[in-house]
Amino acid sequence: MMYAAIRRRSVGYGLASAGYATATGVWIYLAELYDETEAPVLASVAMVLCMLGPWLFGTVHSLAVRRQVFGDASPYETGNEQAIALAQHRRALRQQARELAERDPVMAREVRIGRPDLPRQYDDGGLIDVNHAPASVIANLPGLTSALAEQIVRVRDQVGGFVSAEDVSAAASLPPHLTADLAEYGIFLP
């Protein structure tokens, strides 16, 4: 309730919070006061009320004001929202990996960016190093088949590597619609 009072800047919620806290404090005080001796009936009733009251009424009150405090937003994301959030996260990881590779290519090779075929700890968001990964890994790029991946590896061995998705598409004579996915998921480490 204190959170609700602060968030809504409500004196009423603040007073309710203070009341629940006071009742809890009275319960603790009475429990300590009559710890070694038997409490009179009135004190026992007060202890039970001060213990259960804040718990029961506080819970019901919190549930009753939940919508006023938090609005109509669903407390849980839908499956689609989670999928979109995950895709955005993976895209951000790919961007971070590309920035690291641009700044420090040696480090990028050391943490094995773009090499899901090797043991590693660095999460690059699903990048594949087209210049170093085997054909079986390159075939995992969207739209590529095993035959196209083998073709890319053959051309890579002949030319010594690629510098961009457009370079791969042109040199390996790939269908033009694959270039965008190569640019998104491929990385071209020297």
Q: Which is nearest to 149 in space by CA: 120, 184, 186? A: 186
- Number of domains, the chain: 2
For residue range 17-27, list pLDDT tens digits in order.
898 899 889 88
Instruction: Produce one character per residue of 131-140: b if its CB has 16 or more CB atoms within 10 Å, e if not.
Output: bbbebebbbe
Contact (CB, 8 A) for 189 and 114: yes
Query: Does 92 share its domain with 157?
Result: yes
Domain boundary among 26, 46, 70: 70
In angstroms, the CA 144 to CA 140 distance is 7
48: domain range? 2-70
pLDDT given at position 75 = 55
Query: Does 47 share its domain with 110?
Result: no
Question: What global pTM score does this model have?
Answer: 0.58
Domain boundary among 70, 87, 108: 70
Query: Does 28 share its domain with 51?
Result: yes
Query: Does 95 share its domain with 44?
Result: no
Query: Does 95 share its domain with 112?
Result: yes
For residue range 90-116, list pLDDT tens digits in order.
999 999 999 999 999 999 999 999 999
Query: Does 100 share its domain with 176?
Result: yes
Query: Does 50 share its domain with 105?
Result: no
Query: Does 63 share its domain with 94?
Result: no
Query: Does 183 share its domain with 120?
Result: yes
Return phi, psi of residue 134, to 5°.
Answer: -70, 165
Per-residue pLDDT tens listing for the chain (190 residues) = 888 888 888 898 889 889 889 988 988 888 888 887 888 888 888 888 888 988 898 888 888 888 887 776 555 556 788 888 889 999 999 999 999 999 999 999 999 999 999 999 999 999 999 999 999 999 999 999 999 999 999 999 999 999 999 999 999 999 999 999 999 999 999 9
